[in-house]
Chain A
Amino acid sequence: MAKKYICKMCGQTFEADSKPDKCPICSADSSLIEEVGKEGSEASEASAEKKSRKLNTNGNAYTIIYAAVMVIIVAFLLAGVSILLKSRQEANVEIDRQSQVLASLRLRGLEKDSVTAVYTRVVEEGHLQGSELPLFTCHLDTATVKYVVPVKGRGLWGGLWGYVAVNADGQGVYGAYFSHESETAGLGALIAETKFQELFNDKQLFADSASTRIALTAVKSGKVENPAFEVDGITGATLTTNGVADMVKDGLQPYAEFFRSLKDVKE
């Protein structure tokens, strides 16, 4: 004869010949299943009912209060963690930015602790005279001056940014650093690798000594015609390569006159 059982987990009743291992509705453990109508279980049912009157976990009021309290606790917890860790996180972001600038000056692989010390010694942040454009003047040693220009652009999937270091005479590139938000791993993402960035070393900014248009560019892989100012792009990542080329050209163009003037001073 089928007996009636109740599952304490889901509250459903069901019929079975003997006590099952699992609740057929929610598959709760057999320890949570009780026979209905037996003396013992009735007593426990009564006590359970008493308990549930005290704390009805399915009532509307309980649910709303539960949700509200939960949200408040979580809000304070997250706010606390954020305040506690903020200064450290900002320091990390700043160190990351500094090490990117230094990477464009061929100072790569510095220890995290020494980045800020080197940065403050080498880099002097400033602006292009008479404008808001950022221009970092860098003293690698007492005699060598380099200028670092931050550049921003668009890649295939997201933003690109980088730093280009220019020699003191304003004609040649000393080094470059690029990074990206979300270029394709293994293709466009290679612009963040040292191997690609080093291709920019010692390239010329201008095609000839009279031009004021930035000629420095990256071209489709294998299409380099003028190695003085063209950089070989990444195979299979032509759009990202174009993004880098545009970023470098557009980013440096406002500085073209300044770089030209450096040359004139020298002569």
Chain B
Amino acid sequence: MSLFNSKNKEALNNPLWKDNPVVIQVLGICSALAVTSQLEPAIVMGLSVTAITAFSNVIISLLRKTIPSRIRIIVQLVVVATLVTIVSQILKAFAYDVSVQLSVYVGLIITNCILMGRLEAFAMMNGPWESFLDGIGNGLGYAWILVVVAFFRELLGNGTLLGFQVIPDCAYEAGYMNNGMMTMPAMALIIVGCVIWAHRGISKDE
């Protein structure tokens, strides 16, 4: 079996567009609202979720035949919680500013519905390599939505991107104002709604 046969490619590609966890399955919305007021935390959050989904998928997939079915959800939770704790410790040690900004939301990855969903629906009945690809695919599918939302929120809310000012001073002098609403969580919901709308418009499968 080749490493990238059509089934594996599907596991990786489907969650990016056709079966996106955020815009199709509408999972992981809570954190999408919380960390998207600026680009940097959104990117870090996306990558953290990708890494954690991929590796917890692999671990659960390796263990899947030994896990007692009665406590399988608990086992999944323990694996995810352990990985999340390790990631948050590493962030604190090597990217302190980011960890301050993400603060509680790293801990909230544990409760991210995408993770539990993938573990229960995919990793429990597929091999480690497929599960790894599935985790990467779903994590990235989540990450790019976050980045899109954060792009608009930071640009319109603060006039910056990744902390650099992109809207020139002369625009402010001419009367342009940052939209403070954009920094509120409610606007994230509205932008996610717009992304879902655009996505449904482009892919006419439904």
Q: Is the interface of B mostly helix, strand, loop or mixed?
A: helix
List residues of chain A with CB within 8 A of the CB of B201: none
Whether B184 is near chain A, meaning CB under 8 Å from some CB there, is yes
Q: Is the CB of B96 within 8 A of A78?
A: no
- A:98-112 near B, CB below 8 Å: none
- A:61-78 near B, CB below 8 Å: 62-63, 66-67, 70-71, 74, 77-78
- B:149-181 near A, CB below 8 Å: 157, 180
List residues of chain B with CB within 8 A of the CB of A63: 68, 70-71
How far apart sit A169 and B89, CA to CA, in the bound complex (Å)? Answer: 44
Whether A44 is near chain B, meaning CB under 8 Å from some CB there, is no
With contact pairs A92-B92, A92-B96, A185-B37 given, residues A70 and B78 touching in the complex (Cβ less than 8 Å): yes
Whether B190 is near chain A, meaning CB under 8 Å from some CB there, is no
Q: Is the CB of B90 within 8 A of A70?
A: no
Q: Is the CB of B96 within 8 A of A66?
A: no
With contact pairs A58-B68, A70-B75 given, residues A186 and B157 touching in the complex (Cβ less than 8 Å): yes
Q: Is the CB of B93 within 8 A of A78?
A: no
Among A82-90, A120-128, A215-223, which stretch is in contact with chain B?
A82-90
CB-contact partner of A186 in B90, B96, B184, under 8 A? B184
How far apart sit A58 and B65, CA to CA, in the bound complex (Å)? Answer: 11
Whether A57 is near chain B, meaning CB under 8 Å from some CB there, is yes
Number of interface residues of A (CB under 8 A): 28
- B:91-139 near A, CB below 8 Å: 92-94, 96, 100, 125
List residues of chain A with CB within 8 A of the CB of B184: 185-186
Query: Apart from A58-B70, A66-B68, what 15 extra A-B contacts exist at CB < 8 Å?
Result: A57-B68, A59-B68, A66-B66, A66-B67, A67-B74, A67-B75, A71-B78, A74-B78, A78-B82, A85-B90, A89-B96, A95-B96, A185-B184, A185-B185, A186-B157
- Chain B residues engaging chain A, CB cutoff 8 angstroms: 37, 65-71, 74-75, 78, 82, 85-86, 89-90, 92-94, 96, 100, 125, 157, 180, 183-185
